[in-house]
């Protein structure tokens, strides 16, 4: 008689593996810096005249910003464009002149002054105001907070998945990869009221961190 012994490795070994989890963390922050684009637009049939008029008005705007305590390092030229202008009469293109646009990007570190800056700039020669963005001067502190929340989010997900599968998850990730960073801005509300200055109402900023973490588990 011959006897046979069968060995089932699943009865004597521990099952191990890993899982890949995404984590997201968001921190809401009150902004302390504003960036606004101020454009000086001039038109003339003579290009040189249009440029000279634009230069005079742009200089007046910059001088007004200086009087408000905004230094040159917080003022930069975002764009400078020269465009020929045409009218169309009876299907014919008729040259009207040139349009010169000088757009200044201005950083305002006292956000309570944004409305006043806009009003005084428009009084000095600015024709168009757009792209008002509110942010924080140093986002690194808040990003690190968001990163910690993203890691906690990933750990929580891993533990919940482990409980569902009946496995023991090591809560310390074996690897963490930062996937992306983003700061979303709330819509800026501009209201023109019967008031000395234009009220600008900033919202909070969402600073978000996203990670990918690998967790080991055993059964």
Quote the distance between the C-alpha of residue 65 and its chain's center: 25
Is residue 192 domain-shared with residue 146, that is, in the same domain? yes
Per-residue model confidence (pLDDT) at position 214: 95
Domain that holds residue 65: 33-135
Binned average pLDDT, 10 residues per bin, the chain of 219 residues: 42 74 95 94 98 98 97 97 94 94 97 93 95 88 95 96 93 91 57 56 87 93
Give the predicted TM-score (pTM) of the model. 0.72
Mention every residue, 6+ apart, whose C-beta is less than 8 A from residue 194: none
Is 189 found in the same domain as 109? no
- As a whole number of angstroms, the distance between CA 61 and CA 4 comes to 96
The answer to whether residues 205 and 164 belong to one domain is yes
Q: Are strands 168-169 and 16-29 parallel, antiparallel or unpaired?
A: unpaired
Is 1 a member of any domain?
no
What is the secondary structure of 111-145 as a DSSP string?
GGGHHHHHHHHHHHT--EEEEEEEE-S--HHHHHH
Question: What's 21's domain CATH number?
Answer: 3.30.110.170
Model pLDDT, residue 8: 45
pLDDT at 142: 93
Amino acid 90: pLDDT: 86
CA distance 62 to 66: 6
201 domain-assigned: yes
Residue 3 counted as domain residue: no
10 within some domain: no
Q: How many CB atoms are located within 10 Å of the residue 215 CB?
A: 23
- Report the pLDDT value the prediction gives residue 2, as an integer from 0 to 100: 39
Report the pLDDT value the prediction gives residue 197, as an integer from 0 to 100.
67
Integer Cα distance of 83 and 50 in angstroms? 11
**CA dist list (Å): 143 to 26, 90, 155, 162:** 8, 59, 18, 28
């Amino acid at each position: 008689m011959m006897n046979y012994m069968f060995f089932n490795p699943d009865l004597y070994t521990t099952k191990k593996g890993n899982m890949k989890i995404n984590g997201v963390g968001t921190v809401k922050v009150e902004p302390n810096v504003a960036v606004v684009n101020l454009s000086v637009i001039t038109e003339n049939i003579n290009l040189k005249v249009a440029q000279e008029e634009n230069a005079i008005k742009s200089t007046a705007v910059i001088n007004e910003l200086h009087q408000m305590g905004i230094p040159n390092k917080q003022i930069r030229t975002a764009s400078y464009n020269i465009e020929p202008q045409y009218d169309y009469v009876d299907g014919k293109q008729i040259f009207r002149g040139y349009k010169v646009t000088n757009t200044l990007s201005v950083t305002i570190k006292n956000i309570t002054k944004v409305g006043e800056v806009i009003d005084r700039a428009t009084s000095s020669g600015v024709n168009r105001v757009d792209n008002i963005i509110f942010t924080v001067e140093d986002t690194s502190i808040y990003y690190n907070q968001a990163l910690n929340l993203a890691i906690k989010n990933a750990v929580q997900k891993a533990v919940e998945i482990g409980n569902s599968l009946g496995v023991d998850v090591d809560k310390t990730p074996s690897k963490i990869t930062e996937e992306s960073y983003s700061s979303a801005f709330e819509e800026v509300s501009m209201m023109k009221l019967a008031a000395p200055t234009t009220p600008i109402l900033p919202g909070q900023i969402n600073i978000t961190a996203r990670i990918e973490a690998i967790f080991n588990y055993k059964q």
